[in-house]
Amino acid sequence: MNKCLKITLTVDRMEGFLHTIVQSKARKCDLEGVVQPVNDSQIRIIVCGEKENVDTFVDLLQREAIKDVEIEPFVKDKDYRGVFRVIE
């Protein structure tokens, strides 16, 4: 069963976080979606994939230097074509 989430994170430092943490963990979990900065300390992630893989991704993210996390269900409105992209 597929699951999609919209995740908003507040992080201590943005430098390298999008590529080295978020994108690499999403690829490791075989997920698709996008991540983009909202401001200097906040990022928004749209992630879709198998339920177990999405749950694993969220667990991996929560182990990082994150101050605040908001997670909400998301209805997939785009075809991400099986890729997880960083939008800067």
Q: Residue 15 has what pLDDT?
A: 82
Helix (H) or strand (E) holding 52: helix 51-62
* CATH number belonging to domain 2-86: 3.30.70.100
Asked if residue 67 has pLDDT above 90, the reply is no
Is 52 exposed, middle or buried, given 0-12, 13-18 or 19+ CB atoms closer than 10 A? exposed
Closest by CA to 10, choosing from 48, 47, 44, is 44
Asked if residue 19 has pLDDT above 80, the reply is yes
Q: What mean pLDDT, rounded, does the chain reach? A: 91
% of the chain residues with pLDDT over 70: 99
Flag whether the pTM goes above 0.75.
Answer: yes
22-65 pLDDT tens trace: 999 999 999 999 999 999 889 999 999 999 999 999 999 988 86
